[in-house]
Amino acid sequence: MAQRWESDLDEDLQDVDLNLAIGTYGQNGIYEDAQPRIDEATLLAVQQQMAQQAAFSVVPDVVKRFIVHFHQAVLDNNLAEITVAYESGWNKLTEKYYQKTEWPEAEVIAPLVNDDQIFLILYRELYYRHVYSRLQPDIDDRFHSYENSCELFNYLLNSDGPVALQLPEQWLWDIIDEFIYQFQSFCVWRTKVKSKTAEELQLLADAGQVWSSYSVLNVLYSLIQKSKIHENIAAVQEGKSAEEIAEIVGEYGVRPLYRMLGYFSIIGLLRVHSLLGDFTLALKVMEGVELNQKSPFTRVTACHVTTYYYVGFCYIMLRRYTDAIRTFVSILNFILRMRQYHTRSYQYDQINKTADRMYALYAICNALSPSRLDDNISNIVKERYGEQFAKMSKGEEGIPAFEELFIHACPKFINANPPPYEDPDLLATYIEEPPVEPAQRHLGLFLSEVRAQAPVPTLRSFLKLYTSLDASKLANFLDADEEEMVQQLMVMKQASRSVSRVEGEKSLLDGQTIPTSDLDFVIDENMVHIAESTVGRRYAGWFIRNTEHAQRVYDTVKNAPLPPKSGSASTQQHHQQQQQGSAPPKSAGQKVAWGGVKVN
Amino acid sequence: MVSASEWVQPSTRTDLIENLVSGVDRYNPNNVGILEDYLYHQIRTEEYDCLANLAILKLYQFNPDLYNPDVVINILIKALTSPFPDFNLCISLLDERAANVNPDEPDPLPALLPLLTTLHNLLQQCRFPAFWQLYRSDKSESLRDNYTVECVGFEDAVRRVVVRAVTGAFKRIGSERLSTYLNLDVEDLGEYVQKLGWTVGDAGVISLPSNPDNQPVSTVVQENIQLHQLTKIITHAQVA
C-alpha cells in the first residue's frame, strides 16, 4: 500500500524537470535580438553565465561569507551552527540587504558551495520562503518553489536509504509549515481567474499536478509512513524501551530528521484537511497523538500553537464547543506563560496573530456555550472582543458579530480543485458566475448552527428569574406563540448538552454527552421547572495570586540596595549588579503553574 | 450518556470498510464503488456510518469525475436524522462544482439541496410539526418518490430525532402535542409510546420515565484543590 503511494509520488516528481521548466518560462524572449548565425542555446548559456557572474559580483562579501559558513555547518551536520545561521544569520542579513529584494539566486551562489545540490535545495527553500513572506511571488516563483519542495522530499524519501542530513527541529517544522502555506497560497491565487495574463492562463492549463491536493497529501503520507511515526508514538505510549522502539521504527524512524518530519506531517495533515473543510478527518488523522504539553511536537512552539488552533477550530465545526474552549484555554495560557521568553523570536508575531484568532474563537464558543472555565482568558477576551461578545450573547441580532469574528479567525479555506483552466468555455462560465468562496460556504454552515440556537440567550435570561413558571406565561413575556416557545425550549435543552472528550479517550473524535450549561429545566406538561447551578467562591486563584504578589514584594525588598555607607559606594554598586544578574526581578504574569487545578 | 464512539466506529462496520476509512486507501478512487455499495446497504437496512459516507464525499471532492448526485442525496438523507452535525459536515465537502455539462442527465442535487437544507434546519430547530408539513407537501414529492421511499426506516429515524428532543426536555407531555411532533394519530401514538416505556395517563397526558436530562437539580459547584497541586508555589516560597 505504502509503495503505491510512493510510486505515485515518483511519477509526480518525474514530471518535474527543472531545466525544462526554466527553459519554458525562464528567460525566453529576453534575447530576441540574438544573431541567427550563432547557436541560440550557446549564446543563451554564455549570456546566462555572464549575467550570473555579474549577479555574483554584487553579492555583499558578508553574505558570501555567511553562505560559505552556513554550507560548512550543513556539511558538518553541526546543529548548533546551523541553528545560529538559520535563526539569526539569515534574518539579520535579510533585514540588512534583502528587505525588498530577493536573495541571490541559487545558481548565482552555487560556486560558493561547490555546486552542492543538496545545499542548494535547502538554500532555495529559504529563498522562496523569503519571497513568499516579504515580496510578491509571481507564477514562476510558485511553480519553482513547488519543484524545489518536490526535489527536497524526493531526496529525503527516495535516496538509497535514509540520508545523513540533520536539521534543527524548528527548521524541519518550518519546511512542512511552509510547504502547506505555499499550497494554500497557490490554491487561493489560482481561483482569481480574472486577473491572470494569457501566459499565466496557459501555464495554469498545463499545470497538471503542480500543487494538487493529491501531491501534497502524498508527500505528507509518505513522510509519515517512512518514519513509522504512528508505530513510534504507540510504542512510546506502551512504555517500550529505546532498543525496542529502534527495532520497531527501523532505519528511517530512528533518525531525528525523519522522526520529526513524520510527526510534523501528521500536524500538516490536520491542517490540510481543515483547509479543505474535512473537519472529521482532520481530527481522525491525529489519532494516537497525545495533546498534552509533554508531547514531542510542543518542543517547537509554532507547531504547538498551530496544532491547538486547528484542533480547536475543528471542534467548533463539529459543534463541540466545550472541547474547543478547553483546547483554546490550554494553549492560550501556555502562550501567556511563554510570552516573556518569546518576545525576541522571529515567530513571535505569527504566534501572536494566531493567539488573537483563538481569543476570537473562544469568544464565539463562549457565546454559544457559556462557561466559566478560565477567568484569566475570559478577561482578555472581554478586553479584545467585548463589544462583539455582548452582541453575540443576544441571539439573532448578534449574527453579524459571529460573522465578523468567524471570518477574522477561521483558517484560509481552499477549494480542492482548480478552476477549469483547461477548458476555455467552462472557464468563461466560471468567470461569469464565480462560485461562492470556500470561506463563505463554511461561514454559511456555521451560521446555520448559530441560527438554530438563536432563541436560547433570550429564553435563558427569562428562565434565570424563576424556579417554575407557566409555559403560557413565559410565551406571553416573549411575545411568542406557546407552541413555538416549547419548541425553542427543546432547542435550548439540546444546546445545553454536548459531546465532550473524556480523559483517557485516545481519539480526538471520541467523547460522551455531558451537560454544558449552569441553567437546566424540565417541562412538566405546561409548567417549566428551572434549576440553576452556581459556582461557590474560588479561593485557589486568590491564594496563588497573593502568594505570588507577596513573593514579588519580598524579592524587591531583598534586592533593594542598602542605604549607602560612606566609602563603600563602588563595592555596593558591584554587589547590586551581581544580585541583579543572579536573581532577575520578577515580571508580571503567572510564574507558577496552576498545576492541575480543576473545578468540578 | 450518549457516546460518540458508535458514531466514530459503528459496530456494524466491517473490517474492509474500517480499512478504507482509517487507512491511506481511502484516497484511492478505485475504492469508491465499495463505499457506495456500503451506502446502499445502509439505505436498505437501518444501519448508518457517517465517516464511511464522508469518505465517499472526500473522493468526490478530489475526483470530480466520480461525482454521483444520487449517492450524495442518499448520504444527506441519512445524515439528516443523526444526533451529530453530520449534515453540515457532509455539505462542507461538497465543493462548488461547474454547472452541469450534460443536459441529458440533469443533476437533481441543485433542486433538492435547498429542500434538504430546510428540512434539516427544521429538525435542528425542533420545529417538528413544520417538518412533517413540508415533508408531506407537494414540494417534497420528488424527494419522497425518488429517494426517501427507498430509505428503509426514514420516518422512524425522524421520529427518533423527536424522541431524543422530547426525552430530554419533558417530564410529562400532552398526547396532542406529541402526536403533532411524531406525525402519528392517537391510536398509533399509544402503541408507539408504549414501546418507548412511556405511560399514557389521565386526559391523555403522557409521562416519561426519569432520565439524567429531565430532572434538573440545583447544585453549588465547589472547587476542589488538593495540597499537592500547590507544591510548586509552596516550595518556591521556601527556597526564597
Helix, strand, coil % over all residues of chain B, rounded to 5: 65, 5, 30
The answer on A449 and A345 residing in a single domain is yes
What local confidence, expressed as pLDDT, does residue A45 receive?
80
Search chain B and give the residue with CA nearest A515. B213
Statement: residue A80 has pLDDT above 70: yes
Residue B104 pLDDT: 67
- Span A323-327, average pLDDT: 92
Question: In the prediction, which pLDDT does B230 show?
Answer: 80
Predicted confidence at residue A267, as pLDDT, reads 94
A319 to chain B: closest CA residue: B85
Least confident interval from A169-178, A343-352, A369-378 = A343-352
CB count, 10 Å around CB of B213? 20
Closest CA to B27 of B64, B54, B62: B62
What pLDDT, on a 0 to 100 scale, did the predictor assign at position A595? 40
What sign does the dihedral A212-A216-A219-A225 (CA atoms) show?
A: negative
Q: Is the pLDDT at A220 greater than 90, yes or no? A: yes
Residues of A in contact with B177 (CB under 8 A): 483, 486
Answer whether B218 sits within 8 Å of A534, measured CB to CB: yes
In this structure, how many other beta carbons lie within 10 angstroms of the beta carbon of residue B231?
Answer: 11
Of B24, B171, B224, the CB nearest to A524: B171
**A426 in a structural domain:** yes
Query: B35-62 burial, b if ≥16 CB within 10 A, otherwise e?
Result: bbebbeebbeeebbbbbbbbbbbbbbbb
Distance from B195 to chain A by nearest Cα, in Å?
Answer: 21
User: Chain A residues with CB inside 8 Å of B27's CB?
Assistant: 214, 217
C-alpha cell at A384: 479584545
The full 3-state SS of A242-262, as one line of letters, equals HHHHHHHHHHHHCCHHHHHHH
> What does the pLDDT read at residue B211?
86
Contact: B8, A509; criterion CB under 8 Å? yes
Domain assignments of chain B as residue spans, ordered by start:
1-95+107-159, 170-216
pLDDT at A592: 40
Q: Name the residue among A81, A86, A80 with its Cα closest to residue A129.
A: A86
- A416 chain-B contacts, CB cut-off 8 A: 61-62, 95
Q: Looking at the structure, do residues A413 and A354 belong to the same domain, yes or no?
A: yes
> Based on the domain organization, do A482 and A449 belong to the same domain?
no
Report the residue of chain A nearest B234, measured CA to CA.
A547
Residues of B in contact with A436 (CB under 8 A): 96
CB B75 within 8 A of CB B39: yes
A-B interface: how many C-beta pairs under 8 angstroms?
A: 210
What residues in A contact B99, CB-CB < 8 Å? 429, 433
What pLDDT sits at residue B39?
Answer: 94
Alpha carbons A396 and A401: distance in angstroms, whole number: 10
CA distance linking residue A289 with residue A307, whole number of Å = 11
- Among residues A464, A459, A468, A446, the alpha carbon closest in space to that of A488 is found at A459
**Residue where a domain terminates, one of A439, A454, A469:** A454
- Count: domains in chain A: 2
pLDDT for A343: 54
- The single-letter DSSP state of residue A276 is T
Contacts of A471 by beta carbon, 8 Å cutoff, 6+ apart: A482, A485, A486, A523, A526, A527, A528
pLDDT recorded at residue B187:
83
Report yes or no on A514 lying in a domain: yes
My answer on whether A406 and A366 are in the same domain is yes
Nearest-CB residue to B2 (from A284, A513, A536): A513
Q: What is the mean pLDDT of residues B61-73?
A: 91
CB atoms within 10 A of CB A388: 22
- Dist CA B169 CA A522 (whole Å): 5
Cα–Cα distance between A47 and B93 in angstroms, integer? 51
**Interval A346-359 mean pLDDT:** 87
- The pLDDT > 90 percentage for chain A reads 35
pLDDT band of A342, cuts 50, 70, 90: low
One domain for residues A407 and A464: no
Inter-chain residue contact B1 with A513, CB threshold 8 Å: yes
pLDDT per residue as tens digits for the range A245-279? 888 888 898 999 999 999 999 999 999 999 999 99
Output the DSSP codes for B167-179: HHHEEEEEHHHHH
Asked if A317 lies within 8 A of B171 by C-beta distance, the reply is: no
Q: ipTM of the assembly?
A: 0.92
* The pLDDT of residue A31 is above 50: no
Among chain B residues, the shortest Cα distance to A225 is held by B24
CA B152 to chain centre: 15
The pLDDT of residue A55:
79
Q: Quick one: pLDDT at residue A552?
A: 86
All residues of chain B having their beta carbon less than 8 Å from the beta carbon of residue A490 are 126, 165-166, 168-169
Signed CA dihedral, A204, A207, A208, A209: sign only: negative
Is residue A471 in some structural domain? yes
* Dihedral over Cα of A267, A341, A544, A541: its sign: negative
Cα dist from A209 to A214, A271, A388, whole Å: 8, 20, 43
Return d(Cα A123, Cα A106) in angstroms, integer.
7
Q: What is the C-alpha separation between A453 and A523, in angstroms, rounded?
A: 18
Query: Which domain does A394 fall in, by range?
Result: 341-454
CA angle, A156 as apex, A151 and A158 as ends, to 5°?
Answer: 85
Please say if the pLDDT value at position A313 is more than 70: yes
| pLDDT tens, position by position, A551-592 | 889 888 888 888 777 655 444 444 444 444 444 444 444 444
Distance in Å, alpha carbon of B145 to nearest chain A alpha carbon: 28
Q: Which helix (H) or strand (E) holds A275?
A: helix A256-275
Which residues from chain A sit within 8 angstroms of residue B173, using beta carbons? 523, 525
Domain endpoint, select from A406, A426, A454: A454
Are A399 and A485 found together in one domain?
Answer: no
Quick check: B54 and A280 CB within 8 A?
yes
CA–chain centroid gap for A285, Å, is: 16
Kind of pairing between the strands at A519-524 and B170-174: parallel
Beta strands A527-532; A519-524: pairing state: antiparallel
Q: Which residue in the set B61, B218, B232 is minimally distant from A592, CB to CB?
A: B232
Q: Which site among B7, B63, B82, B89 would you substitute to test the A interface, given the most A Cβ atoms closer than 10 Å to its Cβ?
A: B89
Whether residue A26 is predicted with pLDDT greater than 60 in this model: the reply is: no
Q: How far apart are CA B144 and CA A51, in angstroms?
A: 71
In b/e form, how buried is each residue of A282-298, taking b as 16+ CB within 10 angstroms? Answer: bbbbbbbbebeeebbbb
> Which of B174, B215, B220 comes nearest A522 by C-beta?
B215
Q: How far apart are CA A499 and CA B2, in angstroms?
A: 8
Chain B residues touching residue A225 (CB < 8 angstroms): 24
B89/A317 CB distance under 8 A: yes
Residue of A nearest to B96 (CA): A435
Residue A49: enclosing H or E segment and its boundaries? helix A40-57
User: What pLDDT is attached to residue B53?
Assistant: 95
- For B3, name the nearest residue in chain A, comparing CA atoms only: A512
The pLDDT of residue A266: 94
Residue A599 backbone dihedrals phi, psi, to 5 degrees: -115, 120
- Computed over its alpha carbons, how large is the radius of gyration of chain A? 29
Q: Which residues of B touch A529 (CB under 8 A)?
A: 171, 216
- Per-residue pLDDT tens over the stretch A407-437: 999 999 999 888 888 888 888 888 888 888 8
- Look up residue B81 and give its three cell numbers: 436524522
> Above 60 in pLDDT, residue A600?
no
Architecture of the domain delimited by B1-95+107-159: Alpha Horseshoe (1.25)
Burial of A149 (0-12, 13-18, 19+ CB in 10 A): buried
| Chain A residues within an 8 Å CB radius of B3 | 510-513
A485 shares a domain with A418: no
Q: Which of A55-69, A198-212, A362-376, B87-101 has the lowest mean pLDDT?
A: B87-101
With beta carbons less than 8 A apart as the criterion, state whether A182 and A142 touch: yes
Look at A534 and B221 and tell me if their CB atoms are within 8 Å: yes
Asked if B216 lies within 8 A of A534 by C-beta distance, the reply is no
Interchain pair A452, B214: CB under 8 A: no
Of B85, B95, B223, the CB nearest to A540: B223
Query: What mean pLDDT comes out for the span A155-166?
Result: 89
Q: Is the backbone of residue B203 left (phi > 0), alpha (psi -120 to 50) or beta?
A: left
Compute the residue count for chain B.
Answer: 240
Across all residues in chain B, what is the average pLDDT?
88
Smallest Cβ–Cβ distance between B240 and the set A488, A539, A551 belongs to A551
Give whole-number Cα distances, A373 to A153, A370, A544, B232, in Å.
Answer: 43, 9, 17, 22
Q: What is the pLDDT of residues B142-188, one digit of tens each?
A: 999 999 999 999 999 999 999 999 999 999 999 889 999 999 988 88
Q: Is residue A121 part of a domain?
A: no
* Chain A residues near residue B223 by CB distance under 8 angstroms: 536, 538-540, 597-600
Side chain identity at A18, as an amino acid letter?
A: L
Cα gap B109→A113, rounded to integer Å: 59
Residue pLDDT, tens place only, B68-121? 999 999 999 999 999 999 999 999 998 766 555 566 677 888 889 999 999 999
Q: Where are the beta strands (DSSP E) in A334-459?
A: none
Secondary structure of residue A225 in the 3-state scheme: helix
* A379 lies in the same domain as A353: yes
Q: Is A590 exposed, middle or buried, given 0-12, 13-18 or 19+ CB atoms closer than 10 A?
A: middle
Q: Where are the alpha helices (DSSP H) in A418-481?
A: 424-432, 438-452, 456-463, 471-478
Using a CB-CB cut-off of 8 Å, the residues of chain A touching B232 are 592-593, 595
Mark residue A535 as left, alpha or beta (left: phi above 0; alpha: psi -120 to 50; beta: remaining). beta
Domain boundary among A401, A423, A454: A454
> Does the structure show a pLDDT above 50 at A144?
yes
CATH code for position A527? 1.10.10
Which of A278, A532, A595 minimises the CB distance to B232? A595
